[in-house]
Amino acid sequence: MTTTSTESLPDRTAPDGPAVVVRDLHQHYGDFEAVKGISFEIRPGELFALLGTNGAGKTTTIETLEGFRRPSSGTLRVFGTDPYGQPAALRGRTGAVLQGNGLMEDLTVRESLVLAHDLVSDPRDADELLELVALTDKARIPVRQLSGGQKRRLILAQALVARPEVLYLDEPTTGMDPEARHTTWRIISELKRQGVAVLLTTHYLEEAERLADRLAIMHRGEIRVEGTLEDVLASWGDRVTFRVPEEVGTDDLPEPSGAEAAVRTRDGRLWATYTVGGADVESRAHRVVSELVAWAAERGVVLRNLQVRGASLEDVFLQVAGATGLAEQ
């Protein structure tokens, strides 16, 4: 049952209030709970990326926000309105690029944009949109002759006809070549600049790194990690690795503060790995490497094969996915 109380929800009339509010969303398919109590907000001009393993519940969340599904429980608000059933108050204010194709294959590319014109009050010009998504030269051909990546671009153009203030992008760049992907990223950045609130799901972590103001990693229906990219990387740690010098024993290895040491045998040799945590994301590896090098200099030994590997979103993602085995299907 949908909770209808709005008491604790932010004021939608506040100029910097969130465009999208999700509170403790649960979504079931029969007995199966696909989304297990997730919460987030998206402000105008902000892009929130929902990352996650296959079957984590991202599409379910977007479809529920779009108003296609009634939440099993929890509260959703888009500009203060419950989106279930796609109420008239939200029509035209939200746009979506969803996973299903939804295109009419026999129309020409241009016709499929003009068709959408009839449904909205202040539509964007079809030719302007075709230029935006680099499909001007395809305007007169039937949709069925477009490649997969070109169809995704046309769906994006359709989503923009009504000048939406909230945009749901479910894997929008799947099948696009790198150039088309970069074009799409530029379009999304421009929409953000114009104040559009964007919810993006993607399996391209670089896409999230480039576009997201905040991101969350979902696994098995739950948000496991959330924050700005910097917050998320801070939660993981950098890795400093070197071969343990033969002249010293592993008991002699230093213990810099904020670093956790582990020693492993590889190729018959001992290797030390320090996982360096701490909020000083930009300087923490430097701090620990300085201590390690000073320690080595004092003993007259060399840290061979010394490597520093910064935390990456992929590391964090794999940790989330790997914590309980791979993705739930």
Ligand X SMILES: Nc1ncnc2c1ncn2[C@@H]1O[C@H](COP(=O)(O)OP(=O)(O)OP(=O)(O)O)[C@@H](O)[C@H]1O
- Smallest distance, ligand X to C-beta of residue 327, A: 8
Quick one: DSSP state of residue 245? Answer: P
- Smallest distance, ligand X to C-beta of residue 328, A: 6
Of 32 and 121, nearer to ligand X (C-beta) is: 32
Which helix (H) or strand (E) element contains residue 111?
A: helix 109-117
For residues 149 and 7, give the distance between their C-alpha atoms in angstroms, rounded to a whole number: 44
Query: What residues make contact with ligand X under the rule CB under 6 A?
Result: 29, 32, 34, 52, 54-60, 328
Tokens of 288: 């620990």
- Smallest distance, ligand X to C-beta of residue 220, A: 8
Of 34 and 191, nearer to ligand X (C-beta) is: 34
Q: What residues does 23 pair with on adjacent strands?
A: 75
Quick one: DSSP state of residue 213? Answer: S
Q: Which residues contact 128 (CB under 8 A, 6 or more apart)?
A: none
- Smallest distance, ligand X to C-beta of residue 35, A: 7
Helix/strand/coil (H, E, C) string of 170-196?
ECCCCCCCHHHHHHHHHHHHHHHHCCC
- Smallest distance, ligand X to C-beta of residue 101, A: 15
Of 136 and 319, nearer to ligand X (C-beta) is: 319
- Smallest distance, ligand X to C-beta of residue 74, A: 15
Task: Decide: 234 and 281 in contact? Cβ < 8 Å.
Answer: yes
Of 44 and 172, nearer to ligand X (C-beta) is: 172
For residues 19 and 21, give the distance between their C-alpha atoms in angstroms, rounded to a whole number: 7
Instruction: Return phi, psi of residue 65, to 5°.
Output: -65, -35
Tokens of 172: 């929008």
At 77, is the secondary structure helix, strand, or coil? strand
Of 51 and 132, nearer to ligand X (C-beta) is: 51
Of 51 and 143, nearer to ligand X (C-beta) is: 51
- Smallest distance, ligand X to C-beta of residue 3, A: 21
* Side chain identity at residue 157, one-letter code: A
Of 297 and 327, nearer to ligand X (C-beta) is: 327
